[in-house]
Chain A
Amino acid sequence: MFDALSSKLEKVFKNLRGYGKLSEKNIDDALKEVRLSLLEADVNYVIVKEFIESVKKKSIGEKVMDSLTPSQHIIKIIHDELVSLLGDHEPLNIKTKPPVIIMLAGLQGSGKTTTAGKLGLYLRGLKRNVYLVPADVYRPAAVLQLKKLGSSINLPVYDTPEKDGKITQMPDEILKSAIEIAEKHAYDTIVVDTAGRLEIDEPLMEELKLLKVKFSPNEILFVADSMLGQSAVAVARAFNDSLDITGVILTKVDGDSRGGAALSIKKTINKPIKFMGVGEKLSEFEPFYGERIADRILGMGDVLSLIEKTQNAVDERSAKALEESLAKKDFTIIDFAEQLKMVTKIGGIAQIAAMIPGFSKIKDKFNPELAEKEFKKINAVINSMTEKERKNPEILNGSRRKRISSGSGTTVNDVNLFINKFEEVKKMMKSLKKNKFGALKNINNIKNMFNQGGYKWQ
């Protein structure tokens, strides 16, 4: 998400930077472009209007016009406006007396059931004892879907009773008995999946209100598809009016939508966006930080999220051990393989690349999918080496290389290319021994390697 928007805006700013001093007309022209990009991104029409007016008012002041770098100034103004549209990060309100109840609500197809699984997995990562509760009694097999998701990640799921394919409890009965079970088993966090519903469907909205009144959930999260169009505003407002929601979860952020809905929703209902779903896997789920997303939209990258992801994925001890061994001795293929593993853990090259500042500028030249393919090839090559070869790459003579290529299903040329690349990285490592960021910089090395010579590798 946001990619298309960011590359459009970058173009605007590039033009803006061409001017030493800005006239009112320069600013007007640039803002016209910004307006169009936001409208194309499905940001609500009315919100775009306010946004542009506000930026314009702040831009056409003496301060900006007289500053030495007026375009930087304007970009800063737009950045700050975006941040205020997207909002600060707010954690879940779960530090209260258990069981904590988190209820999900939203339109059909927004991704509530999948999100229930993702949120459950995320909460377990916070050492919560999670209990999933399927309370979608309408969509065929919705209950079964959550049961299957739960069992795939070993989370307990309330066994919503069924008879002849029909659910025999209503949502309030389901939640009531689920809470009893949770108390018995010391489950401290209950995630409730509810049926998708249209915000104008009064009987169904009443059902949610009833759950709210009876059980006062600690969190009522509105699950919203990031591809939503202009109606995002009306939908979010209606859900908030009837339920006074506590936050928003954006889904399908891994699509290529420009994410206008995200910009519209927070502004409309003034509730924080707390999480976003970024992939088909249940682990692909992240806390939402408005500031970082604003950086991404403006092509400034999202280094903070990258660092956090690295910290989560790379266990500190093994990273430290790697660093120490690098300090003492030569960089070997074993160390290299270790680095590759880290990249995979963080979510693969494509995900990392998207967070790197200025990436949208080079996107056409760097194909993450191709890189991902090479990645697999390199892994195959390394796996076909003997321990001795990995430790002492200099012994890799012609016949060894031939054996490795046939063992890994690659060509001798592929093996040669890998060894050359490895030597390059080794050189880089030597110059980087005293780096502070440890694993993160190592990962950048690998990315550079793909960037430079990537597609010669086919």
Chain B
Amino acid sequence: MNIFDKFKNLTESLKKTKESLAQKIGSIFTGGGLPPDYMEKLEEALVLSDISFQTASDIINSVKKDIPGAGSITSGEFKGFLKREIKKMISKEFPPLNIDDKKGIILIVGVNGVGKTTTVAKLGNFYKNKGKKVIVGACDTFRAAAQEQLAIWGERTGIEVVSGKENQDPASVAHDAVQKLKEKDFDLLIIDTAGRLHNKKHLMEELAKIKRVIMKANSTPPDETFIIIDASLGQNSITQAAQFRELVDITGVIITKMDGSARGGIAIDVIHKLGLPVRFIGTGEKPENISDFSPEIFVEGLL
């Protein structure tokens, strides 16, 4: 598989972003050169892409340093500076994913409605296609029919699902799923959990318990804990990730719904402000609509 296939979903989903952000940047130059109020216009373009005000200011300040004191600058050069600065900002060194060559466990967490269950199905399918024997633990025992939703996905993708009953303690489902991973011929367990708002203490405690039970059953914590962030949501996503992180040691982020009109600027904040890696991007409703994340391709797509 060549690099362009691998990131095809990402590139495709960023096309709209590219058009509108590129247009905005282009429109700064309508009068010919760089106008005196370009910073405000750049700020507008960046903030409208769901980049936080603070991060937008950081970007503007570093771009400002690149711009030569005298002489004119073209829109192309300006875009080049911008790309370089954003790329620098999000090209942090992160360790590779920690799920190879062993029986791995991925825990999926997030607030309501961001697309956890769909992402679990896609992620399962993704690893299945890479030759792993995947099993899924359906630990959302709260939302009506969440169990059935994952069971249907399981049938479609040919992946076994360990389910519980409605209102059963989700930690006990996690326990059963871990046992199955250990005893049977599986390589990877992906655990879906119920959506919970990060400011609901009792629900967050329930999540901490799920994690403790996994640790106890497997004698190690989950290898990866991914928080799902919905690209159409705003700056609250950063608060969400920070709060979940306090409790369950988030190791990475998956950004969903990148195929909508949201511009996904939140990815920059995730990396810049939280120092967390973005691991995958969700780009549609089909099982194969998931893509690896690459800072280079993201920035190329963004601008």
Residues of A within 8 A of B (CB): 36, 39-42, 44-46, 49, 107-111, 138-142, 144-149, 152, 165, 198-200, 225, 227-232, 234-235, 238, 251-252, 254-258, 260-261, 280, 369
Asked whether A229 and B145 contact (CB < 8 A) given A39-B47, A45-B47, the answer is no
* Closest Cβ–Cβ distance, residue A113 to chain B (whole Å): 8
Contact (Cβ within 8 A) B145 A235? no
- CB <8 Å contact, A107 and B232: yes
B48 at the interface (CB under 8 A from A): yes
- Which of A39, A41, A200 sits near B260, CB closer than 8 Å? A200
B92 at the interface (CB under 8 A from A): no
Secondary structure dominating the interface of B: loop
Listed from nearest, the 5 A-B pairs whose CB atoms lie closest are A229-B234, A109-B113, A42-B234, A140-B152, A145-B145
Chain B's interface size range is: 35 or more
Query: Beyond A200-B16, A256-B199, is A144–B236 a contact (Cβ under 8 Å)?
Result: no
Residues of B within 8 A of A229 (CB): 50, 232-235, 237, 262, 266
Q: Does B230 contact A (CB under 8 A)?
A: yes
CA distance A109 to B114 in the complex (A): 6
Which of B44, B166, B260, B266 has the most chain A CB atoms inside 10 A of its CB?
A: B260
In B34-67, the 8 Å CB interface with A consists of 44, 47-50, 52-53
B5 lies within 8 A of chain A by Cβ: no
Shortest CB-to-CB span from B159 to chain A, Å, is 13
Contacts of A141 in B (CB 8 A): 145-146, 148-149, 151-152
CA distance A109 to B50 in the complex (A): 19
Instruction: Decide: B261 and A255 in contact? CB cutoff 8 A.
Output: no
Q: Is the CB of B152 within 8 A of A45?
A: no
- B111 CB to closest chain A CB, in angstroms? 7
- Do A260 and B234 contact each other (CB < 8 Å), given the known contacts A39-B47, A198-B260, A252-B113? yes
Expressed in whole angstroms, the minimum distance between the Cβ of B269 and any Cβ of chain A is 11
- Known A107-B260, A108-B257, A231-B262: A144·B145 in contact at CB below 8 Å: yes
Q: Are A40 and B52 in contact (CB under 8 A)?
A: yes
Q: Which of A39, A149, A165, A225 contacts B53 (CB under 8 A)?
A: A39
Question: At the interface, yes or no: B216 with Cβ under 8 Å from chain A?
Answer: no
Indicate whether A148 sits within 8 Å of B144 (C-beta atoms), given known contacts A39-B47, A227-B234, A228-B233.
yes
Given contacts A45-B48, A147-B145, A252-B111, 9 further A-B contacts (CB under 8 A): A41-B235, A107-B260, A108-B113, A111-B112, A140-B153, A142-B149, A230-B47, A234-B261, A256-B197
B201 contacts the other chain (CB 8 A): yes
In Å, the complex CA distance between A236 and B166 comes to 34
Please name all residues of chain A whose beta carbon is closer than 8 Å to the beta carbon of B237 when the two chains form the complex: 227, 229
B151: chain A residues within 8 A (beta carbon): 141
The answer on a CB contact under 8 Å between B199 and A255 is: yes
Q: Which residue of A lies closest to B113 (CB)?
A: A109
A230 near B260 with CB under 8 A, answer no
Chain A nearest CB, measured from B258 CB (Å): 11
A225 touches B148 (CB 8 A): no
Bound-complex Cα distance A88 to B230 (A): 30
On chain B, the residues within 8 Å of A140 by CB distance are 148-149, 152-153, 156
Contacts of A41 in B (CB 8 A): 235
Q: Does B103 contact A (CB under 8 A)?
A: no
Report the minimum CB–CB distance from B142 to chain A (whole Å). 8
* Candidates B113, B148, B201, B235; contact of A111 at CB < 8 Å: B113
Task: Determine if A228 and B53 form an interchain contact, defined as CB atoms under 8 angstroms apart.
Answer: no
Q: Does B145 lie within 8 Å of A256, measured CB to CB?
A: no
Residues of B within 8 A of A49 (CB): 44
Report which of B144, B156, B233 forms a contact with A225, defined as CB distance below 8 A: B233
Task: Find A256's partner among B44, B236, B263 (CB 8 Å cutoff).
Answer: B236
- Tell me, in angstroms, the Cα distance from A109 to B257 when the chains sit together: 10
Residues of A within 8 A of B49 (CB): 230
Tell me which residues across on chain A come within 8 A of B232, comparing CB atoms: 107, 225, 228-229, 231-232, 235
Of all chain A residues, the one with the shortest Cβ separation from B196 is: A280
CB pair A40 B235 closer than 8 Å? yes
- Whether A148 and B145, one on each chain, are in contact in the complex, defined by CB atoms closer than 8 angstroms, is yes
Does the CB pair A199–B260 fall under 8 Å?
yes
Is residue B155 contacting chain A, with contact meaning CB distance below 8 A? yes
Known A36-B53, A199-B261: A255·B234 in contact at CB below 8 Å = no
Question: What chain A residues lie within 8 Å of B53 (beta carbons)?
Answer: 36, 39-40
Q: Find chain B residues with CB under 8 A from A258 CB.
A: 235-236
Interchain CA distance A345-B141 in the complex, whole Å:
26
Contact A257 B234 (CB under 8 A): yes
Residue of B nearest to A113 (CB): B144
Interface check B143, CB cutoff 8 A: yes
Interface residues of B in 240-266 (CB under 8 A from A): 257, 259-263, 266
Interface of chain B residues 79 through 133 with chain A (CB within 8 A): 111-115
Contact pick for A165, options B52, B115, B152, B261, CB 8 Å = B152
Asked if B233 contacts A256 (CB within 8 A), the reply is no
Query: A67 to B38, alpha carbons, bound, how many Å?
Result: 38
- Name 12 interchain pairs, CB-CB below 8 A, sorted by A: A109-B113, A139-B149, A147-B145, A227-B230, A229-B237, A230-B263, A232-B232, A232-B234, A238-B261, A254-B197, A257-B233, A257-B239
| Binary flags per residue of B197-212, CB closer than 8 Å to A gives 1, else 0 | 1111100000000000
B185 interface residue per 8 A CB criterion:
no
With a cutoff of 8 Å between Cβ atoms, the chain A residues found around residue B12 in the complex are none
Tell me the minimal C-beta distance from B249 to chain A in angstroms. 21
Which single residue of chain B is at the shortest CB-CB distance from A143? B145
B236, A227: Cβ atoms closer than 8 Å: yes
Q: Does B292 contact A (CB under 8 A)?
A: no
Residues from chain B with a CB closer than 8 A to the CB of A260 are: 234
- What chain A residues lie within 8 Å of B113 (beta carbons)? 108-111, 225, 251-252
Closest CB in chain A relative to B296 CB, distance in Å: 24
Set of chain B residues within 8 Å of A232, measured between Cβ atoms? 232, 234
Whether B50 and A230, one on each chain, are in contact in the complex, defined by CB atoms closer than 8 angstroms, is yes
Across-interface contacts of A108 in B (CB, < 8 A): 113, 115, 257, 285
